[in-house]
Amino acid sequence: MSASFLAPDTEAGVAAAVAAAAAEGVPLGIEGRGSKRGLLRPVQAARGLTLRNLSGITLYKPQELIIAAWAGTPLPEIEAALAEHGQHLIAEPPDLAALFGSAGPASLGGIVATNLSGPRRITGGATRDHVMGIRAVNGRGEVFRSGGRVLKNVTGLDLCKLLTGAHGTLGVLTEITLKVLPAPSATGTIAVRVADLADGVRVLSAGLGSPFGVTGAALLPQGGVGLGGPLAILRLEELPESVAYRSVRLRDELARFGEVALIGDAESRALWRAVRDAEPLGATAEQAVWRVSVQPSAGPGVVAATGFGQALLDWGGGLVWLAGPATAAAHANVIAAATAAGGSFTLFRAPEPLRAAVEVLSPEPPALAEIGRRVKAVMDPRGVLNPGRMRAGL
Amino acid sequence: MIRLPEPKAEVMARRAEIVAALRAIVPGEGVISETLRLKPYETDGLSAYRQPPLAVVLPTSTEQVAAVLRLCHAMGVRVVPRGAGTSLSGGALPLADAVVLGLMRMNRILEVDYDNRLAVVEAGVTNLGITNHVSADGFFYAPDPSSQLACMIGGNVGMNSGGAHCLKYGVTANNLLGLKVVTMAGEVIDIGGRHLDAAGYDWLGLLTGSEGMLAVVTEVTVRILRSAEGQRAMLAAFKGIEIAGQAVDAIIGSGIIPVALEFMDRPCIHACEAFAHAGYPLDAEAMLIIEVEGSEAEQDLLLGKLKEICNRFDPISLKVAQTAEESLAIWKGRKGAFGAVGRISPDYLCMDGTIPTGELPFVLKRIGEMSAEYGLQVANVFHAGDGNLHPLIMFDANNPESFHKAERFGAEILKLCVEVGGCLTGEHGVGVEKRDLMGVQFTAAELDQQRAIKAAFDPGWLLNPAKVFPLEGNPAVAPAALPRAA
Ligand SMILES: Cc1cc2nc3c(=O)[nH]c(=O)nc-3n(C[C@H](O)[C@H](O)[C@H](O)COP(=O)(O)OP(=O)(O)OC[C@H]3O[C@@H](n4cnc5c(N)ncnc54)[C@H](O)[C@@H]3O)c2cc1C
């Protein structure tokens, strides 16, 4: 925790806070509303900067599929505003309050800075795919913009993408404009009881390779919704007539893999919310949690290689949530498994000493790491923005 | 009028030496230096500008690309990457002292993996080549620029290209998993991979749309998708542009997002009808092409709802395709729109600004007024769902005054797009064409920051150095002005 906390309520206030930190050479620990403080490496910063007071929706045009809000806006506030017009956030960002044991809601800025996406990522795109515009403050305390408030824009370098998922190390996001879509009126799930995880991924691949527009494809090793595991679940979201028709078609196609059940609207929504928030992983408070991203067919191998009993596979099998002992040895296991599968890992949650001691993100090839250092030096020459959050010394 | 930086005298003087060194890397037909054979490379889709390069090199492997770049890096030679050269913004326009690095001979599809729904292809594979390769198995590569028969995936990455179906399926950046790139220093780097959202900075996102200024793409891992059961189009024609705009709003507001929602104005309808005989209504001021996907019954359901919405706006005609053939007929005019306008006026400039869709009636009205002021015809065809306009300004290339007027008219339109809250380019890129307008959209400090990021990849400003940023303040022109890079 930082000794002092700044909580500006204007963008100019954020800029002034960063400019002062840069002038004094004082590192800043930056957070939205602090719901994911336990993510990645702990930041050693004498001063904190919270965006919680820079809050509120600044523009919402349902007909133009665009919403903009200050970075500190609580996510539920945005979701509620969208719901009033029958719209939703496409990437379905998770609510990780339970996982991180945090009290308050996530902020929009926090979700964008961490590029977190839920089950719909597999076909609908990630949070980063829907960031149409940003306003941000760089490490010199200068406000800058990238993108805008329209749905298609290739003017200049895409700094929206660069800052999304940069965990506040390249700039403090102040305002974000997102593309949104109409929320589907109906949801349904096809659940298939499978022999093992590899079989489960085959089911998910068959579903995702079908013409029926699957919008969620997860694998619950222990089962769920009253059905035993491993359980492959596939989601359909459309007009009710379409969900009804496609569920039956998909059920018939997947019956060759095992016992199939159809899950109705309300139960489906609850189930996918749980998957989104990694509840079926069942991580206990003492355990560490990892997210590994691999090609879907490699997901089961990652689970097997780590030897942890607890996993949850999303994104067709390509997103592997793991829970295991919070030790350096267990972490080394995950690194080895992810690397062997050609994927990337994130130590998502762990006690502070472990997070501080290990690499929490996949390393980059040396030539890319060097470019990364230069880009960091461009955006934050004094190194005051969340130093060490993603990687030691960056 | 677009200016290019002065050629470096010391590079021009060493031309023979450079060509010989390139030949040592890429043997045989792979290096072009004869004046006549350089001709096809002197321009791209923005054919009003022409500049023969120092030489053209056409490598066949990543190793050769790396060796070429190391050589050019060591000798201080500028490099312009090139795919098919269909850029409409002059992105692939050469410089007199530059080597054009063409990727068209790297045209192999290396792997298709249906289980993981991806394909690994070399940069010179055409956009349509990917879809054609997987379509028999029911799959496709989603972004579909109208130039898809010719344009290459490396160029698509360079421009972050879109297409008629990106309302549903997204643009290039949304459909990539990994890249193999080579930096100007000749280092080969794998970005991303075969998985989603690799941990760390989103280099994949930054490189996509970077217009060949950060690194040369040699391989691309794309996502491939299973096609829907079927698709069908409908056509709706209206009495006024404003009314058609309201219909678009009502469609999006109803919660239906069609896979495609294209808009054509009267001059464009007439041009396309004369060209394609698609049965477009000639008395309409505006026309929409709307496409939906799904089973026959799903298509009927959606088209029924869309018809009901369009009927609220007093349409002149509504035509719902009953068969795949009828759908193709509806699309035929739209797909040939650029060619059709080309028949009325062999020379036209294609603008590409995006506006908030709510500003559509105002912007189209202003474009009409400007057309009268400049005395130049303009036809509008565009992606209505996302506000990405394509005004086609017709001019006479044999008359320099007409060309300059067309350029000024285009610049006015783009400034208007920015004024109403939009941007200079939605999918064609800045290139040289919009380079000098960047100050309309960005502040000097914002441009400096972007330049410095370019310099983080290419400190010597050798890779496609005269594009995207205004020449004033461009270190490729005045090295002393190198912005704050590390
Ligand atoms: C008739 C017509 C219709 C069009 N329709 C559309 C449309 O619907 N949507 C759309 O978005 N665009 C459209 N375009 C524009 C153009 O086709 C796209 O920009 C396309 O992606 C360019 O691909 P290319 O292979 O021709 O690239 P080029 O024109 O050769 O190059 C484009 C840019 O990318 C860079 N580049 C090329 N290859 C590489 C590489 N391997 N590594 C790094 N940089 C590279 C070049 O330096 C240049 O800056 C159209 C063009 C025409 C002529």
A165 touching B, CB under 8 A?
yes
Distance CA B238, CA B240 (A): 6
Q: Is the CB of B102 under 6 A from ligand 1?
A: no
Going B143 to B146 to B148 to B152, the CA torsion angle's sign is negative
pLDDT of amino acid B335? 83
Q: How far is B167 from chain A (nearest CA, A)?
A: 9
Query: Which chain B positions have a beta carbon within 8 Å of A362's beta carbon?
Result: 198-200
Q: Which fold has domain B345-419?
A: Alpha-Beta Plaits (3.30.70)
A186-276 adopts what CATH topology?
Alpha-Beta Plaits (3.30.70)
CATH of domain A1-183+362-389: 3.30.465.10
Mean pLDDT of B302-308: 97
DSSP letters spanning B174-227: GGEEEEEEE-TT--EEEEE-SSSS-SSS-HHHHHTTSTTSS-EEEEEEEE-EEP
pLDDT reading at B310 higher than 60: yes
Model confidence at B84, pLDDT cuts 50, 70, 90, reads very high
In angstroms, what CA-CA distances link B5 with B21, B145, B415, B467, B470?
24, 31, 25, 10, 11
Q: A181 C-alpha vs ligand 1 centroid, how far in Å?
A: 28
Q: A245 — contact with chain B (CB < 8 Å)? A: yes
Q: Decide whether any atom of ligand 1 lies within 6 Å of the B209 Cβ.
A: no
pLDDT digits (tens, 9 = 90+) for B45-66: 999 999 999 999 999 999 999 9
The string of pLDDT tens digits covering residues B241-291 is 989 999 999 999 899 999 999 999 999 999 999 988 889 999 999 999 999
Reply yes or no on domain A280-357 having CATH 3.40.50.
no
Which residues are CB-neighbours of A359 under 8 A, at least 6 positions away? A335, A391, A392
- Please tell me if the CB atom of residue B84 comes closer than 6 angstroms to any atom of ligand 1: yes
Banded model confidence at residue B478, pLDDT cuts 50, 70, 90: low
CB B103 within 8 A of CB B152: yes
Cβ distance A153 to B452 less than 8 Å, yes or no, reads no
Q: Is the CB of B85 inside a 6 Å radius of any atom of ligand 1?
A: yes
Q: Give the closest of A86, A128, A209 to B114, CB-based.
A: A209
Write the residue with the smallest CA distance to atom 15 of ligand 1: B87
What stretches in chain A show pLDDT beneath 50?
1
pLDDT at res. B339: 86
Q: Whose CA is nearest to atom 37 of ligand 1?
A: B155
Query: Sorting pLDDT into bands at 50, 70 and 90, what band is B473?
Result: confident
Q: Which chain A residues have a beta carbon less than 8 Å from that of B189? A: 365, 367-368
Cβ contact B255–A364 (<8 Å): no
Q: Give the pLDDT confidence score for residue B480 in this predicted structure.
A: 44
Nearest-atom number in ligand 1 for the CA of B426 is: 11
Are B425 and A157 in contact (CB < 8 Å)? no
Which residues of chain B lie closer than 8 angstroms to A164, CB-CB?
Answer: 202, 205
| Contact yes or no for A152 and B427 at CB 8 A | yes
Nearest residue, CB atoms, B257 vs list A182, A242, A367: A182
B436 in A contact zone (CB under 8 Å)? no
Q: A275 by DSSP, 3-state: which?
A: helix
Residues of chain B with CATH 3.30.465.10: 109-226
| Segment A286-302, tens digit of pLDDT | 999 999 999 999 999 99
Is residue B87 in contact with ligand 1, taking CB distance under 6 Å? yes
Same CATH topology for A186-276 and A280-357: the answer is: yes
Of A86, A148, A364, the CB nearest to B422: A148
**Which residue in chain B is spatially nearest to A242 when comparing CA positions?**
B298
Ligand 1, atom 11: nearest CA belongs to which residue? B161
Average pLDDT, rounded, for chain B:
94
Residues of B in contact with A180 (CB under 8 A): none
Q: Which pLDDT score is estimated for B385?
A: 87
- Cβ of B486 and A152 within 8 Å? no
Q: What is the pLDDT of residue A44?
A: 86
Residues 6+ apart with CB under 8 A from A368: B189, B191, B203
pLDDT, tens digit, for every residue of B317-372?
999 999 989 999 999 888 888 888 888 888 999 999 999 999 998 999 999 999 99
- The nearest alpha carbon in chain B to A295 belongs to B195
Secondary structure element (H or E) that encloses residue A23, with its range: helix A11-24
Mutate-to-test residue for ligand 1 from B62, B68, B88, highest number of ligand atoms within 8 A of CB = B88
- How many Å separate Cα A285 from the centre of its chain? 20
Q: What tokens does A257 get?
A: 């893999």
Would you call A379 and B449 a contact, using CB atoms and an 8 Å cutoff? Answer: yes
Q: Give the integer Cα–Cα distance in Å for A262 and B440.
A: 55
Query: Which chain B residues touch A126 with a CB distance below 8 Å?
Result: 196-197
Chain A residues lying within 8 Å of B357, measured CB to CB: 63-64
pLDDT class for B481, splitting at 50, 70, 90? very low
Q: A179-199, pLDDT tens digit by residue?
A: 999 999 999 999 999 999 999
CA B190 to ligand 1 center in whole angstroms = 22
Residue in A128, A239, A294 closest to B195 by CB:
A294
| Residue A356 CB contacts under 8 Å (≥ 6 apart), including other chains | A41, A42
Whether A64 and B357 lie within 8 Å, measured CB to CB: yes
Chain center to CA of A139: 24
Q: How confident is the model at residue B202, as a pLDDT?
A: 98
Domain boundaries, chain A: 1-183+362-389, 186-276, 280-357
pLDDT 10s digits, B183-239: 999 999 999 999 999 999 999 999 999 999 999 999 999 999 999 999 999 999 999
Q: Which of A117, A69, A66, A120 is nearest to A93 (CA)?
A: A117
Summarize pLDDT for B415-437 with one digit per residue, the tens: 999 999 999 999 999 999 999 99
User: Does residue B484 have a pLDDT over 90?
Assistant: no
pLDDT-derived band at B486, boundaries 50, 70, 90: very low
DSSP string, B225-269: EEPPS-EEEEEEEES-HHHHHHHHHHHHHTT---SEEEEEEHHHH
Distance from CA of A194 to the nearest CA of B (A): 17
CA dihedral of B363, B368, B374, B380, whole degrees rounded to 10: 80
Task: For domain B109-226, give the fold.
Answer: 3.30.465
| CB-ligand 1 contact for B162 (6 Å cutoff) | yes
* Mean pLDDT confidence for B16-36: 97
pTM of the model: 0.97
Phi and psi based region of residue A90 (left: phi greater than 0; alpha: psi -120 to 50; beta: remaining): alpha
For atom 27 of ligand 1, the residue with the nearest CA is B155
CB B362 within 8 A of CB B420: yes
Whether the CB of A150 is below 8 Å from some CB of chain B: the reply is yes
Closest residue by Cα to residue A72 from A173, A200, A170, A149: A173
- The answer to whether B191 faces chain A, any CB pair under 8 Å, is yes
- From chain A, the residues in CB contact with B443 under 8 A are 144
- The ipTM is 0.98
Considering the domain B231-339, what is its CATH architecture? 2-Layer Sandwich (3.30)
In chain B, what residues touch A297 (CB-CB under 8 Å)?
A: 115-116
Q: Rounded CA gap, B254 and A93, in Å?
A: 24
